[in-house]
Structure 1
């Protein structure tokens, strides 16, 4: 299995909160999943926890490498920058990752590294993995909540992405 490219600052097990979610599905094309993930205009159609999405590059609604953007999620206003963007070309594992942050004082400062991997498996299956590592007091508070809102929220993101993609394939 492929893994996330973590920097030392966000290494799972060394941060205040970490979640990992995965879906393995079939009946979809990896390119369709990828396009629905990198096109931020589609996020609110399948994931109700990402709102007020605003890309700095107004030419289109797709994320680009090194692009900065803003969105609200889990009650936090997040500024972010795309750190990794690899399309699923030539059998490559698709990769999307961003560093996100909420500026503030020692009580409210919040930093995250959120990454997605999408890979083709045998027998027409697709694996979607998302992991997020978080640093800061808000992250530590989230990690103690039961059920864990990050774990459940990110599972909704993956499940919604798969469902949205499948529903739109059927309409073609």
Structure 2
């Protein structure tokens, strides 16, 4: 199976917080999942912890490399920029990642994240969806120290909602 590609400054284990969630489900394909993930305006329709998505500079509605966008999640107003966008193709997983930030650079409330997704078809009519996020800053440390971990639980809700929305879209 494939893995997330991390820039050196965001290598898991070198930041204040890291969350990793994955599902493998039968009966869905990358083609079912990708449009729901790659179009941020769809996120609030299946993930309650996402709101007020908008693109900057007339971009969108689908993500593309270097696109700037905004959304709210976990109580943070997040400015973001797409750092990787590789649409799925035969034998190639879909990859999307963004750098997101909240707060002024250098401030105690500054949060920097890199959130990455990998979606790939597996044999037997299965799809694998992997989402991982690394976080830097004091808010990231607070999230890391909170039990249960809100990032792990929140991202699991995102995955579960994504799968449910894809299944619903397949229904006749």
TM-score bracket relative to the smaller structure: over 0.9
Match of 1:118 in 2: 119
Q: Distance in 1 between matches of 2:151 and 2:38?
A: 20
Tell me what 1:107 maps to. 108
* Total equivalences in the alignment: 171
Structure 1 residue 59, shift from structure 2 partner: 5.4
Higher helix content, 1 or 2: 1
Match for residue 69 of structure 1?
69
Q: Kindly report the root-mean-square deviation, in angstroms, between the aligned alpha carbons of the 2 structures.
A: 1.1
Within a 5 Å distance, the mapping from 1:43-54 to structure 2 comes to 43-54=43-54
SS in 2 for 1:123: coil
CA offset digits 1:21-70 (Å, max 9, x no partner): 00000111211200110112211110011111111143542111110000
**Structure 2: 5+ residue runs without aligned partners?**
none
Measured in 2, the distance between the counterparts of 1:72 and 1:88 equals 27
**Counterpart-to-counterpart distance in 1, 2:95 and 2:130:** 10
Q: State the match for 1:167 in structure 2.
A: 168
How does the TM-score come out when normalised to structure 1? 0.95
- Consecutive unaligned residues of structure 1, counting only runs of 5 or more, are none
Partner residue in 1 for 2:147: 146
Distance in 2, matches of 1:159 and 1:35, equals 16
Distance 1:96 1:112 in 2: 14
Distance 2:153 2:57 in 1: 30
Runs of 4+ in structure 1 displaced over 6 angstroms? none
